[in-house]
Structures are given as C-alpha cells and as structure tokens.
Structure 1
Amino acid sequence: MKEAGCDDESTNGVVVMVEPYSQTEQIQHVIYRILDANLDRAREGLRIIEEWCRFGLNNAQLALECKHLRQEIANWHTAQMRAARDTLGDAGTELSHPQEEQRANIKSLLQANFGRVQEAMRVLEEYGKLTHPNMGKAFKQMRYRVYTLESTLLGYQRHQLLLRSRLYLVTSQSENLLSTVEAALKGGLTLLQYRDKIGDDTVRLEQAMKLRQLCHSYGALFIMNDRVDLALAVDADGVHLGQQDMPIAIARQLLGPQRLIGRSTTNSKEMQGAIADGADYIGVGPVYETPTKVGKAAVGVEYVSYAAKNSPIPWFAIGGIDPNNINEVIDAGAQRVAVVRSLMEAEQPTLVTQYFLSQLYRVKANA
C-alpha cells in the first residue's frame, strides 16, 4: 500500500490519498463494536417480546416468529464482531433515561422494546453495508418483519381483551366524566366508548386524549364513537360506527387491521351485513326503550336471542339495560352488555360495575 500523497503509475500520475492501514483497521474495529452492540440489543429486545407472546398470550405463532428473528440475527454475529466488544471501555454503559427506570404497563414495555429492536436493526442495516454486501438488505427485510409483528401483536392483544370484556360503558354528557369513568375502571371495566354528540372537536379531542390515557393506565380498551379521524388522532383502540356512519371497509382502510371496528345493529339483516363487512363486534339493540336513542323503537329480547344463536363475533346487548333487568337480558342469551345511564348516572359507579360483572360472569362467553 502506498503512503498518502505518493504518485503511482497505475493512476497516471494522479496523486491518490490513501488512508494508513492502521487507521482503516481502527475504523473497522469501531464498526464491529457497533454491529456487536446492536446485534445484542436487537436479540435482547426480541426475547422480551417473545416471552410475553409465549407466557402472556399463549400464542405459539407469534413466539415462533420472535424466535426465528433472533436466530437469523445470531447468524450474522461473527467472531470478529464479538472479539471487538469492549464493555469496560464503552462510554454508553452508564447512560440512562428516567423513562427506562420503570414501565407503566405491558403495552408500554412492549412498545419500548419494539422501538429498541427497530432502532437496532436500522443501525445494523446501515453499518452492515460497510461489512457485507447482503447484510444491509437482510436487516432491512427483518426490520419490516418486526413492524408487521408489532402490528399483529397489538391487534391480537386488542382482540383478546375484547373477547374477555363483558361490560361495555358508553359515555354520555357529564360534569364528572373522568371521575365516573375511573370509578368504573376501578370496578373492573375493560371497554369504554367515548360518545359526545354535542361538544365541538376541540373539546372532544381533549376529552378523548384524557380518557384514552386513563383507560390504558388501567389496561382497558378505548373506543371512539363515530369519528375515525379522532380515533387516529388520539391513538384509540378502535371506533364504533352507526348504520349511517362511514362504511366499515373505508374505516378499515384508514384504521388498519390492528384496530377494532364495531357496528350498531337493530335487526338480523343489519347484523349479517356488519359481519360480512368485517366488523370486530356489534351492538345488539336497543333492547329496551332509552332516551339515548330517541325515536328508536326497542327491539326486545327476541333480537338478543337471535344474536345468541347466530352471531359468530362478539356482540353486546345495549339499550336501557340496568341492574333491574340485566338478568332478563342474560336469560335471553346475552353474555356481554353495553350500558350508558346505569353507570354514568350511578351514585357509586364502582359498585354498579362490580354488580354487572358479577352477573355476567355467571355465564360463559362463547364468541
């Protein structure tokens, strides 16, 4: 190798600046350290995600995808990269951030580790291009697989929580909105829909943000009524649509497959249409007359019985249901119910929530 600044006949007299060999070797050593650290970081993050898929969700398919990704990453971890490791000399080992000291819930833990894996893979994609012609391409493909895994996992968790939910609170106008909702959450509520037909969008957005944060802090799902745009703006778990609202197919295009979409139905035709359109759950009612649905006739428990026999997806009986008639609805075949006034106007929402759940847990949910 010629020293920097020397002429070489092969370059027709052009002066070529060549890095000293020792400097090139030093740079390669640094690259190996970067690759080593991020290969470990990606595998560690995936292992944390894999453990939840395996033990928390009992989902072998998702756990297996995590395992396959970890093994593919390990195949790129060469002896040269491991030999370049210098833990004692790593200036970043003492660096930390307050947000890393604790996790609010499983969702935040998973999001943090998905972010960790994705960032590590982006580093591996770029620095890998300096080491192997196929490494950058391989980690780009793996990074997109991790994006898909994250979307699938989040959607799966939402659907699992939906399946476990027996009681669905739909909010109404209230000066004590947040405190009432939190009281219900303390009682075991796991599914909330924010419904506001009067306020302007500024108020709706502010309230929706607060309610979504509150629900997620209790591990509950937050659904936005009608408004797909606001659902996206506040990162809601889904949206509930009436018969006159946006078609489910359009909402699905906007929301993606990982968020939930519910549809109100009042008869068998609407039910079958919602199922065919891809709704994740449906409302069945109004079972009894209710001021929440002014001018809409009650469908009675007959439609509840029809839903119990014919709906392959989760459904919630709704409309005028309260502690006095809940057992009549259950006897008609309901395993899940949605309520408004009986909780929003309750003097003790926590106790009323617990009572509803105690009655609903007497029956085993199927769909």
Structure 2
Amino acid sequence: MSDILCVTNRSLCRGDFLEKIGQIGDARPKAIILREKELEKIEYEDLAREFIKVCEAHGTKPVLHSYPEVARRLGADALHMPLPGLREMAESDRLAFGILGASCHSVEDALEAEMLGCTYITAGHVFETDCKKGLEPRGIDFLRSVCDVSGIPVYAIGGIGPENIAEVRAAGASGACLMSGFMQTGNVKGFMKALEI
C-alpha cells in the first residue's frame, strides 16, 4: 500500500478539481485529505459530499478536514484536525472516527495528539515550501525527533517531492503528505511513480 497522503488545495489545482481528485484516486495514494480551509462550513459540506463520491468511485480513502460535524453528517470515518481544534473536541466525538489525524509542529504536539486519540499525525513543515514562504523549515532532525517519540504513524509534510522523499523515509516517517505536486502535475500517475521509487 502507498505511503503517500495527498492534501488538496483548489487554488493550486490545474483543471477541474473533482476530475483531478479522480486522477489522484486512480494513482492509489493511501488517502486524500480535503483541506480547503477558506471554505465556510456549508460550502465545505457541499464539496465534501461530491469529494467522497469521487474518492469512493476511484477506490481511495477520503479524509475530511476541520469540521467533525460535517464528517459525521456525511458518514465519513476519517478526519484530520488542526491541533487546537482537536483539543476542543469532546472525547466521544474523537472516538467517532476510525481514522483521526492532527497537524503537529513539535515533539510536544505529537505526544499530545497521540494522547488525544489520533491514529496518525502530520509533522512539518520539513523542507522549504512556497506554501510557507518566508518561514524557516523545521528540517529532517525535527522530523526524526518526532518519529522517535511517536507511537503512531508520522507523515512528513512541507516541500516534499521525488528529490527528497528518501530522506523522509530514512528519518523514520511512515510516509509523506504532498499538496502542490499533485494539484499542479499534468501526469498524476507518473508523479506518484516518481515518489514510490
């Protein structure tokens, strides 16, 4: 099974967004996280409904982001949360998801996310990336330190591509999250193949 998570960003997407999701699904990542932070809850729910259908049609795990009540309403069993949002969720709400992830930026974040019931975390940003322009990347040593303390899978995020994914795996990460590479490529399967070498 793939060790790649795709994170969406419609503003970076070349071409039709749902068509792109289908192409990514056909490339068989571990999952696709519907991030889309700029959408209000109602708009997000409308998009999520279509997103789930496309993911299921292409045999890929859909993961919703930031809105637990939307995920529950749509029957999704996978949710990714920013850590502050995860802290605010009731334990019963956290337990409602078979797959629960959180975005972590320190060893302390990683330990807290695990304590709060996460089944995986993302850790970053590891390398320089346009998404975090001007912000110093945390680097491979940071990633290694998170992987060393975490009892759950750690997926590196931030500036990862075919040229550096081997470093991420060597640091102990369970895999990597990628956004712009998937959103902008005209050859999703080729891009995925380059990541899996």
Q: What TM-score do the two structures reach when normalised by structure 1?
A: 0.49
Q: Tell me how far 1:248 sits from its aligned partner.
A: 6.5
1:172 to 9, 26, 32: 9
- Structure 1 stretches of 4+ moved >6 Å: none
2:40 to 200, 205, 228: 200
SS of the counterpart of 1:239?
strand
SS of the counterpart of 2:85?
coil
**CA separation in 1, counterparts of 2:28 and 2:83?**
30
**CA separation in 2, counterparts of 1:248 and 1:200?**
19
The equivalent of 1:318 in structure 2 is 157
**CA separation in 2, counterparts of 1:170 and 1:313?**
19
2:64 paired with 1:224: yes
* Structure possessing the higher radius of gyration over alpha carbons: 1
Q: Deviations over 1:93-144 (max 9, x none)?
A: xxxxxxxxxxxxxxxxxxxxxxxxxxxxxxxxxxxxxxxxxxxxxxxxxxxx
SS of the counterpart of 1:244?
helix
The equivalent of 1:264 in structure 2 is 103
Q: Tell me how far 1:296 sits from its aligned partner.
A: 4.5
Report the structure, 1 or 2, having the larger strand content.
2
The equivalent of 2:78 in structure 1 is 238
SS of the counterpart of 2:84?
coil
User: What's the % identity of the aligned pairs?
Assistant: 22
SS of the counterpart of 1:197?
coil
2:99 paired with 1:288: no
Q: Tell me how far 1:186 sits from its aligned partner.
A: 1.0
Q: Tell me how far 1:294 sits from its aligned partner.
A: 5.4
Aligned in 2, Cα 1:306/1:246: closer, same or farther, shift over 3 Å?
Answer: closer
- Asked if structure 2 preserves the Cα contact closer than 8 Å seen for 1:185 and 1:350, the reply is no
Paired residue type of 1:171: T
The equivalent of 1:211 in structure 2 is 51
**CA separation in 2, counterparts of 1:354 and 1:234?**
32
**CA separation in 1, counterparts of 2:56 and 2:82?**
25
Paired residue type of 2:6: L
The equivalent of 1:119 in structure 2 is none
Q: Tell me how far 1:351 sits from its aligned partner.
A: 1.4
- Asked if structure 1 preserves the Cα contact closer than 8 Å seen for 2:18 and 2:51, the reply is yes
Report the structure, 1 or 2, having the larger helix content.
1
Aligned in 2, Cα 1:205/1:249: closer, same or farther, shift over 3 Å?
Answer: closer
Paired residue type of 1:300: G
- Asked if structure 2 preserves the Cα contact closer than 8 Å seen for 1:238 and 1:259, the reply is yes
* Structure 2: gaps of 5 or more residues: none
Aligned in 2, Cα 1:200/1:274: closer, same or farther, shift over 3 Å?
Answer: closer
- Asked if structure 2 preserves the Cα contact closer than 8 Å seen for 1:190 and 1:219, the reply is no
Aligned in 2, Cα 1:248/1:302: closer, same or farther, shift over 3 Å?
Answer: farther
Q: Tell me how far 1:254 sits from its aligned partner.
A: 2.4
Q: Tell me how far 1:247 sits from its aligned partner.
A: 1.5
The equivalent of 1:334 in structure 2 is 173
**CA separation in 2, counterparts of 1:262 and 1:295?**
26
Aligned in 2, Cα 1:332/1:271: closer, same or farther, shift over 3 Å?
Answer: same
Aligned in 2, Cα 1:223/1:295: closer, same or farther, shift over 3 Å?
Answer: farther
**CA separation in 1, counterparts of 2:109 and 2:162?**
28
Q: Tell me how far 1:353 sits from its aligned partner.
A: 1.6
Q: Deviations over 1:170-193 (max 9, x none)?
A: 000135211212111111223010
SS of the counterpart of 1:287?
coil
Q: What TM-score do the two structures reach when normalised by structure 2?
A: 0.87
The equivalent of 1:143 in structure 2 is none
Question: Please, which moves more after superposition, 213-222 or 269-278?
Answer: 213-222
Q: Deviations over 1:281-308 (max 9, x none)?
A: 1001110132334565311001221233
SS of the counterpart of 1:297?
coil
Q: Tell me how far 1:341 sits from its aligned partner.
A: 0.5
* Structure 1: gaps of 5 or more residues: 1-163, 360-367
Paired residue type of 1:276: M
Q: Tell me how far 1:238 sits from its aligned partner.
A: 1.8
